[in-house]
């Protein structure tokens, strides 16, 4: 089968041993936390406020990382008019 596909046998068998990296697992947890905080605050909170709340919850992430994850999730803060 590998000869038909034009790949080495070692590549085929190596694909079975793939596991998720620690960073990917952390990013998935971070994304779910960001979604939860965003929904709890009705989409009003932006990246700086979400970053602050994540810090109080025990996540050690930078503001830039929160901004990137929010961009991946297509989340942005809704501006509320004061009148």
- Cβ atoms < 10 Å from Cβ of 20: 9
Residue 50 near residue 76, CB atoms below 8 Å: no
Count of domains in the chain? 1
**Domain-embedded: residue 63:** yes
Residue 12: predicted pLDDT = 81
The residue assigned the tokens 């590549």 is 11
Q: 14 pLDDT band (50/70/90 cuts)? A: confident
Question: For residue 79, what is the DSSP state?
Answer: P
The model carries a pTM of: 0.76
The larger pLDDT score, comparing residue 82 to residue 57, is at 57
pLDDT tens sequence across 35-78 = 999 999 999 999 999 999 999 999 999 999 999 999 999 999 98
Whether 9 shows a pLDDT value over 90: the answer reads no
- 27: domain CATH number is 1.10.10
Residue 13: predicted pLDDT = 82
**Domain-embedded: residue 5:** no
């Amino acid at each position: 089968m590998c000869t038909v596909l034009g790949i080495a046998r070692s590549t085929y068998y190596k694909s079975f041993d793939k596991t998720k990296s620690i960073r990917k697992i952390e990013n998935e947890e971070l994304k779910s936390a960001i979604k939860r905080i965003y929904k709890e605050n009705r989409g009003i909170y932006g990246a700086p406020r979400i970053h602050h709340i994540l810090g109080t919850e025990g996540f050690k992430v930078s503001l830039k990382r929160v901004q990137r994850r929010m961009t991946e999730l297509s989340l942005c803060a809704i501006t509320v008019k004061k009148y």
